[in-house]
């Protein structure tokens, strides 16, 4: 069979784009080379509907071992007693949690998308907002989760589930406070830690497992694994909503979640991706991962300080984690303009709504910036000033093609210090 040169030329083109650019999208990272190696292996050929030891196909004895290894490593990473590594994505993981906990039309409470939440936390465009009755809390004028508002809505509306977690929030979470009001009204607390999961695994942020019933995450972002999702329980529990098996027994939450993933929302698991997840979880268990997490936070705070010194308006005035959200209105720029202009200089980030934004989600007043990918490349806090300087130069000269060209050259030269995948030549 002839090699598909067209496709592989495009892949090589993407490799060069990644090598030569500054990657600041908060939800992106670079996996290790061995994670990529594991993804491109023969488990991709194997159908394995079901779970280890309980498959609907024969020939699963080896993929059973692969998936079990991923599960056992993940349980060690987060000190949990149960985990499901099959979700194809974070959104799929969240969909399974909803299916296990909620009935259509029932109420849940999550952070509003416009305030930094996620599509699967009740956006009207998403299954979560279409299928269930979504209620929302927001942030204060200072950009901090409005816990008083959360508590007021929870007590008034008595939702079945409260979601904590975000896609554009730069501060840690008070899980204990959320659990207290949830216990008061009999609600389940579901933490979506897709963004800060790696920092939580490293013990650098509050532990949601101490107070939340169910936890989901992606495996990319700060966990630095392949693209995928996971669901975890530190302590399994008997569901309190009366779902019974055919023998009349209440089901355990782990059983409901397993059923919600398969056959509830997915068919065959991607065992080659699960193999890559197992590799990533093994890397997280290495002592060096905590140092990586510490460097992420150090880099993010150094970058935030540099932006503030140049007069940029950071939501909440800083960061506790890997990202920051910047309101560009005082710079007379939209998020869309900033993203598109920086793209020309090979600096990649995303436009993002800011709290109380007066522009549409397609334009936005802000940008979201994250440092996991550049930290993986080996950058330290001393490099953050250089990056902010280049960003500022572009944004303050957004219509000057000469400046954009000059910075693009500067970016490519700067990134030569931080090789990416030398194994690929």
**309/355 same-domain check:** yes
Does any domain span residue 12?
no
**251/156 same-domain check:** yes
Give yes or no: 155 in active site.
Answer: no
Does any domain span residue 28?
no
Does any domain span residue 202?
yes
**256/300 same-domain check:** no
CATH code (residue 325): 3.90.1150.10
- Give the other-Cβ count within 10 Å of 386's Cβ: 15
**318/201 same-domain check:** no
In this structure, what token pair is assigned to residue 30? 């670079």
**124/64 same-domain check:** yes
**163/130 same-domain check:** yes
Q: What pLDDT is stored for residue 1 in this prediction?
A: 79
Phi and psi at 145, nearest 5°, equal -45, 130
- Single out the residue in 284, 310, 335 at which a domain terminates: 284
- Single out the residue in 222, 255, 284 at which a domain terminates: 284
Give yes or no: 151 in active site.
Answer: no
Rounded to whole angstroms, the Cα distance separating 346 from 380 reads 20
**276/295 same-domain check:** no
pLDDT of the chain along its 425 residues, tens only? 789 999 999 999 999 999 999 999 999 999 999 999 999 999 999 999 999 999 999 999 999 999 999 999 999 999 999 999 999 999 999 999 999 999 999 999 999 999 999 999 999 999 999 999 999 999 999 999 999 999 999 999 999 999 999 999 999 999 999 999 999 999 999 999 999 999 999 999 999 999 999 999 999 999 999 999 999 999 998 876 666 666 777 889 999 999 999 999 999 999 999 999 999 999 999 999 999 999 999 999 999 999 999 999 999 999 999 999 999 999 999 999 999 999 999 999 999 999 999 999 999 999 999 999 999 999 999 999 999 999 999 999 999 999 999 999 999 999 999 999 999 98
Q: Which of 49, 157, 174, 410 is catalytic?
A: 49
* Dihedral class, residue 122 (left if φ above 0, else alpha if ψ from -120 to 50, else beta): left
**274/318 same-domain check:** no
Tell me which residue of 348, 316, 339 sits closest to 395, measured CA to CA.
339
Q: Which of 28, 146, 151, 192 is catalytic?
A: 192
Q: Which of 55, 171, 221, 408 is catalytic?
A: 221
DSSP lists the bridge partners of residue 352 as 366
Give yes or no: 47 in active site.
Answer: yes
Rounded to whole angstroms, the Cα distance separating 128 from 123 reads 7
Q: Which of 46, 227, 337, 368 is catalytic?
A: 227
pTM: predicted TM-score of the whole model, two decimal places: 0.95
CATH code (residue 86): 3.40.640.10
Q: Which of 47, 147, 243, 421 is catalytic?
A: 47
Does any domain span residue 352?
yes
**125/231 same-domain check:** yes
Domain count, the chain: 2
**280/293 same-domain check:** no
Does any domain span residue 106?
yes
**304/181 same-domain check:** no
Does any domain span residue 296?
yes
Tell me which residue of 261, 242, 311 sits closest to 99, measured CA to CA.
261
- Single out the residue in 249, 284, 319 at which a domain terminates: 284
Q: Which of 31, 120, 179, 218 is catalytic?
A: 218
**96/233 same-domain check:** yes
In this structure, what token pair is assigned to residue 81? 């007693």
Rounded to whole angstroms, the Cα distance separating 39 from 13 reads 20
Q: What pLDDT is stored for residue 326 in this prediction?
A: 98
Rounded to whole angstroms, the Cα distance separating 174 from 423 reads 42
Give yes or no: 192 in active site.
Answer: yes
- The secondary element (H helix, E strand) that includes residue 128 is helix 127-131
Does any domain span residue 238?
yes
DSSP lists the bridge partners of residue 325 as 368
Give yes or no: 340 in active site.
Answer: no
- Burial readout 298-330 (b: 16 or more C-beta within 10 A, e: otherwise): ebbbbbbbbbbeeebbbbbebbbbbbbbbbbee
Structural domain span for residue 354: 287-417
Q: What pLDDT is stored for residue 192 in this prediction?
A: 98
Does any domain span residue 334?
yes
């Amino acid at each position: 069979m002839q090699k598909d040169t067209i496709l592989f030329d495009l892949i090589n083109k993407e490799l060069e784009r990644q090598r030569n650019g500054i990657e600041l999208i908060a939800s992106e990272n670079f996996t290790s080379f061995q994670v990529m190696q594991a993804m491109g292996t023969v488990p991709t050929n194997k159908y394995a509907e079901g779970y280890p030891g309980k498959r609907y196909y024969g020939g699963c004895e080896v993929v059973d071992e692969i998936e079990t290894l991923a599960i056992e490593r993940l349980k060690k990473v987060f000190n949990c007693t149960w985990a499901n590594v099959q979700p194809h994505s974070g959104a799929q993981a969240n969909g399974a949690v909803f299916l296990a906990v909620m009935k259509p039309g029932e109420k849940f409470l999550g952070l509003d998308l416009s305030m930094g939440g996620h599509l699967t936390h009740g956006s009207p465009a998403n299954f979560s907002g279409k299928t269930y009755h979504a209620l929302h809390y927001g942030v204060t004028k200072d950009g901090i989760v409005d816990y008083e508002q959360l508590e007021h809505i929870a007590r008034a509306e008595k939702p079945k589930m409260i979601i904590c977690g975000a896609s554009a929030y730069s501060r840690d979470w008070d899980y204990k406070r959320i659990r207290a009001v949830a216990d008061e009204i009999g609600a389940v607390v579901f933490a979506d830690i897709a963004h800060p999961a790696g920092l939580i695994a490293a013990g650098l942020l509050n532990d949601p497992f101490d107070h939340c019933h169910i936890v989901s995450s992606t495996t990319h972002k700060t966990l630095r694994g392949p693209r995928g999702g996971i669901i975890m329980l530190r302590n399994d529990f008997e569901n309190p909503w009366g779902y019974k098996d055919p023998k009349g027994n209440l089901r355990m939450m782990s059983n409901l979640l397993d059923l919600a993933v398969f056959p509830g929302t997915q068919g065959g698991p991607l065992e080659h991706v699960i193999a890559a997840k197992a590799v990533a979880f093994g890397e997280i268990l290495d002592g060096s991962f905590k140092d990586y997490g510490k460097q992420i936070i150090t880099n993010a705070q150094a970058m935030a300080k540099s932006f503030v010194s140049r007069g940029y308006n950071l939501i909440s005035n800083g960061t506790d984690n890997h990202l920051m959200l910047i309101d560009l209105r005082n710079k007379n720029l939209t998020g869309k303009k900033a993203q598109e202009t920086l793209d020309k200089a090979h600096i990649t980030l995303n436009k993002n709504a800011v709290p109380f934004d007066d522009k549409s989600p397609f334009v936005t007043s802000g940008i979201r910036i994250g440092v996991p990918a550049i930290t993986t490349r080996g950058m330290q806090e001393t490099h953050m000033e250089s990056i902010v300087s280049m960003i500022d130069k572009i944004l303050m000269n957004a219509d000057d093609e000469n400046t954009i060209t000059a910075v693009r050259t500067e970016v490519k030269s700067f990134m030569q210090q931080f090789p990416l995948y030398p194994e690929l030549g």
